[in-house]
Structure formats: C-alpha cells, structure tokens
Amino acid sequence: MEFINLKSYGDGTESSGQVRVLGTLPEQLNGRAVLLVDDILDTGRTLHFARALVTGLGANPVRICVFLDKPSRRAVAMTADHVGFQIEDRFVVGYGLDHAKRWRGLPDLATID
C-alpha cells in the first residue's frame, strides 16, 4: 500500500484548480494494478491528475474508488469504478472530510451553507 498526498483545496470551499503533490511518490509502479481511493470525486481534477501520475509511473490497470461522488460539479471528464454514495452539489464535512482543517472528526456527514 502506498499513499499519495495531493491537494487542490486551500481553506475555501472551492478547488483552486491546481493540484499539488505533497510528499514523495511511489518509485515504480510498472505493470502493477493500482486502486486509487479518494474521499470525494468533485471537479475530477485531482483524480484525473492522480490517474495520469500513476499511469506515467507504469501502473496498469488503474481503477478508482470514491466514498462520495458529486457529478454535477465535474470540470474534467472522470468517472469512478466504485462509488459509495452519489450526492448533490453541497460542501460536506465530517466523517474524515474537513473545511479549513475543521469538522473532520464529526461522526456524521454534514453540509456547510
């Protein structure tokens, strides 16, 4: 198991549109099957970037699993192979999701208005 830290949100509720890599990347994935797991598929930019990144490192096949899918916000053509729940266009926090490093520890999902 490897972890890739990517960031496209700052302290706001909108993606910056720029995906940044935080930390190190796996050295080699040549011929390895990869499952990318993410909390939410929103604009699609981060997962599109991640898929291109691991594909460029030789991963094949690459599949995507997300807890939440928000298709109405898609800015990049992207679908997940496995989806927990599809949600409306609301900013959600809790259950591991945060806003400006707050509300991540809520035991339930909540929305910010």
Which residues are part of the catalytic machinery?
A: 42
DSSP string, 46-93: HHHHHHHHHHHTT--SEEEEEEEE-GGG-SS----SEEEEE--S-EEE
Cα diameter, the chain: 44
